[in-house]
Structure 1
Amino acid sequence: MKTFTSLSLCAAAAAASLAFSATARAQSTMAYPEKCRSHSMDMSKTDMSSGGTQMGEMTDYRKASMDGMKDMNMNMMQGMMKKDADVSFVCGMIAHHMGAISMSEVELKYGDNEEAKQMAQKIIEAQKKEIEEMSKWVDKEAK
């Protein structure tokens, strides 16, 4: 029984690792649409600090979360600068969904609770589908 439990745990760990690797690869290929970028916005003057906390003082999962939040905030701000309200909304939502995927990937990598990990996986799957739909809309509608 002990061997069976050990094998089950190893198989579960391997499956989780493969699932994370697949989502990490998919996320890395999922780029923020170029039509959502606001090239007139000078992002070098935007303070995206970590609220006074030094990155060196953070745990690995906090660093990973902060990196994802920085990317999301940067993209959301660019998307929201679009002159067309509809394009602005959709671009902002794409960035928001990408942030949700990033947070979920951090949960899959660092989390311990199986129920939370299942929620994270569902979020990744749903948000990717919606990002694809919204990106197609932006490609068609944004000038």
Structure 2
Amino acid sequence: MKSLSARWTAIAVAITLTGSALAQGHDAGHGAHGEQPSHHGAMDMHAMMKKNDEAMAAMPSTGDVDVDFAMMMKVHHQGAIDMAQHQLRHGKDATMKAMAREIIAAQKKEIAAFDAFLAGRGHGTKK
């Protein structure tokens, strides 16, 4: 599954770069003078990313790097699920829809692993 791992890395980098550009007020390649993308789906994706980034930034640190990592990764993975579900609802490309289904399945498994870890550390399973 090395190619799937490489795709995940590429997706994570793209999401991070886009989110960083948005946070800095750049147009992230959507045209000059702050033009908005013509497709509502793109704006929905950006809103999802912004909400996800804000949720992670607002999380208080527990002082335990492992717990903080698990808690923030849960939020990050849920954001990936939300975006993938949006892709399934509004996307048209069969390859992207298949990738969205793979992402949902994989991220749910990883969230379950984070939940188990956090429960073992006395941090429950808040979502």
Q: TM-score range by the shorter chain?
A: 0.5 to 0.7
1:132 to 86, 89, 112: 112
Aligned partner of 1:64 in structure 2 is 44
Rg bigger for which structure?
A: 1
Q: CA deviation at 1:80?
A: 6.5
Instruction: Give per-residue Cα distances to partners, 1:35-60, cap 9 Å, x unaligned.
Output: xxxxxxxxxxxxx868366xx94431
Q: CA deviation at 1:70?
A: 2.0
Q: CA deviation at 1:139?
A: 2.7
Note the aligned Cα RMSD (angstroms): 2.8
Aligned partner of 1:111 in structure 2 is 91
The correspondence of residues 49-88 of structure 1 with structure 2, limited to 5 A, is: 51=25, 57-58=36-37, 59-79=39-59, 81-88=61-68
CA distance in 1, matches of 2:24, 2:79: 16
> Could you tell me the TM-score, scaled by structure 2's length?
0.61
Answer whether contact 1:50 1:66 (CA < 8 A) is retained. Answer: no
When the two structures are aligned, how many residues end up with a matched partner? 96
Structure 2 residue 75 is matched with structure 1 residue 95? yes
- Unpaired segments of 5 or more residues in structure 2? 1-21, 28-34
> Could you tell me the TM-score, scaled by structure 1's length?
0.55
Distance 1:69 1:142, change over 3 A: farther
Answer whether contact 1:80 1:92 (CA < 8 A) is retained. Answer: no
